[in-house]
Amino acid sequence: MEAILDALSNSQVAKPLILTLTVYVLWIVLFASSSLPNDLPWIGRDNSKAFSSLRATIKSISRSRELLAEGYQKYSSKGKSYIFPACDGPSEILVPKSSLRWLLEQPDNVLSAAEYHSESLGGDYNFLDKYILEDPFQDHVIYRSLTRNLQSVIPEVWDELASTFEDTWGTDRKAWKAIPLMDSMMTFVGRASNRMLVGAPVCQNKEYLANMMKYTTDVVVNGAILRVLPKFLHPVIGRLLSLRNQWHYSRTAKYTIPIIEERLRHMERKRNDPTYDWEQPSDYITWHINLAIAENNSIEMDPIMISRRLMPINFAAIHTTTITITNAVIDILSTSASKGVLEGLQEEIEHAYAACNGVWTKASLATLVRTDSAIRESMRVSNFMTRNAMRKVMPAGGVTNPTEKWTAPQGAYIGIDMHSIHHDPEIYPSPNEYDAFRFSRAREEASASSGDALDKMKKTESMSTTSGDFLSFSHGRHACPGRFFVVYELKMLLAFMLLNYEVEPLSQRPQNKWIGGNVVPPSELSIRVKRKA
């Protein structure tokens, strides 16, 4: 995050940005948004004024929060769609919750998630080769293998978190230490995620990690620049921008390619001789190779290809999880002591850790219902994306919404205003308040009564459960497939923190910043910690 802010304040970057913005403004005036359905209302646009779309777009740079609230109140909450003048890309059609099912159930050749992701992330340039997002084999591996291998991943991630805490927060039991929260969370998430992806010791290698983080930031920055540039400039600017990605990738590949080659050799030997004395690690590299073999896919057996596939997975995992856990720690630490949130979490974690004899399993982590609720509630109230489940219209003739009868043209973006749903008092009483145990209170009460009630609550209220009311991982068949891993990873992170460190509460919640349509936690915030005696 700091890197992005530094880049923005750097004059060498500021000049091309101003040029980019000028081109963008001209582009909007001349071409953009002209083909969106006329029968849909806009928010923030005054048709009586010249350049009304441009004015609306400029407004949304600093006033997305008000525009979304107004759109929700005037249209979404009344079952109507409207056009939101996004400042970081084309204007979007936002549908009401009553059309969410329609939105999510359209086949990919009608409303495409992959095309939206690729276009909005500069997929042709940001991921080393167009092919990587065009044929996302890495997503296929995650869908097929991550959730079913979680049991073996849990002890590895716990071990990685323990050594990361010791390396970064230290072991001094006497003096308090100031920790830059977001940077520190990025290191935890980077190491823990890469323990699952490439294993130790590569996940701990400083050069590997630093370049992987830089690469994920390249994707964010380049994606933001490309989104506001007209398409005809992409082949030149996209290729130039992607030189940084190529460089950072090459610094990671020098570590991953040798271990991938070695893995391929061991796995082949084991296939030919089952008595060969070697146990295959349970990580992304193994899952990828096994799936490629099962599908007889020789392209995906190439070490360079596998090393490239690791890049979009790191992108999907790192910033999302870092921002989520940063927000959760801030929300927990700034809740008034009178609510007993820290104590409540501590008590639950200590009890569960003792009950599993210090060896976490899926079952023991599932008993952490308060911890689960504290993170889910933070994802609800402190969501960093504001619109979600975004899709791109694919058919040449566009797509017609069956309820409202408008037709969106080919190429248009359609999604939903998640922020306003998460803050709707009809859905969540006191919606702006962080109520850490909002989702676990009922579960704990239900567990005291019949098992049926507990089962029902588990299905509806746990962190990985998506719905039309909880959209942080989106919903439907493209809902984030990494979320089951995230649940265990973040519960273990909080568990290690509260079992081993004293952490000073915050006197008040530092405000998150709205940057266009995204909401980010304060990157400069430090917290004070001390290893428990």
> Binding residues for ligand HEM, per CB under 6 A?
113-114, 139, 142, 313, 316-317, 320-321, 324, 388-389, 472-474, 478-482, 485-486
Nearer to ligand HEM, 224 or 389 (CB): 389
Give the helix, strand, coil percentages of the chain, each rounded to 5. Answer: 60, 10, 30
For the record, the structure tokens of 204 come out as 């701990």
CB of 418 vs ligand HEM, minimal distance in Å:
9
Nearest to 433 by CA among 371, 387, 378: 378
**Minimal distance in Å, beta carbon 479 to ligand HEM?**
6
Question: Closest distance between ligand HEM and the C-beta of residue 389, in Å?
Answer: 5
Shortest separation between residue 349's beta carbon and ligand HEM, angstroms: 20
Token digits of residue 13: 């970057």
d(CA 57, CA 36): 14
Report phi then psi at 192, rounded to 5. Answer: -65, -45
Q: How far is the CB of 475 from ligand HEM (least distance, A)?
A: 7
Q: Which one-letter amino acid corresponds to residue 478?
A: H
Angle, nearest 10°, between helix axes 181-197 and 206-227? 110
Smallest separation (angstroms) from ligand HEM to the CB of 265 = 26
Task: Using the minimum distance from each CB to ligand HEM, give the nearer residue, 53 or 193.
Answer: 193
From residue 460, how far is each of 335, 418, 453, 466 by CA, in Å? 25, 18, 11, 8
Give the burial class of 67: count Cβ atoms within 10 A of its Cβ; 0-12 exposed, 13-18 middle, 19 or more buried: buried
Count of beta carbons in the 10 Å neighbourhood of residue 209 = 20
Nearer to ligand HEM among residue 141 and residue 241 (C-beta): 141
Q: Are 270 and 277 in contact (CB under 8 A)?
A: no
Six-digit token pair at 433?
Answer: 């308040």
The nearer residue to ligand HEM, 113 or 393, going by C-beta atoms, is 113
Q: Which residues, listed in sequence order, are joined to residue 515 by a DSSP beta bridge? A: 518
Q: Radius of gyration over alpha carbons of the chain, in Å?
A: 24
Query: Which is nearer to ligand HEM, 121 or 237 (by Cβ)?
Result: 121
The smaller minimum CB distance to ligand HEM, of residues 57 and 145, is found at 145
Least distance from C-beta 189 to ligand HEM, angstroms? 8
Question: Is there a contact between 259 and 194 (Cβ–Cβ < 8 Å)?
Answer: no
In contact, 372 and 87? CB cutoff 8 Å = no
Residue closer to ligand HEM (CB basis): 416 or 436: 416
Exposure string for 468-506, b = 16+ CB within 10 A, e = fewer: bebbbbbbeebbbbbbbbbbbbbbbbbbbbbeebebeeb
Give the shortest CB-348-to-ligand HEM separation in angstroms.
Answer: 21
Residue nearest to ligand HEM (CB): 482
Nearer to ligand HEM, 157 or 259 (CB): 157
Residue 73 or 297: the one with the smaller Cβ distance to ligand HEM is 297
In sign, the C-alpha dihedral spanning 1, 245, 21, 321 is negative
The closest alpha carbon to 114, from 417, 408, 394, belongs to: 394
* Exposure b/e, 370-400, CB count within 10 A at least 16 = b: bbbbbbbbbbbbbbbbbbbbbbbbbeeebbe
CA 313 to chain centre: 11
To the nearest whole angstrom, how small is the minimum distance from the Cβ of residue 61 to ligand HEM?
23
The annotation places the binding site for heme at 480
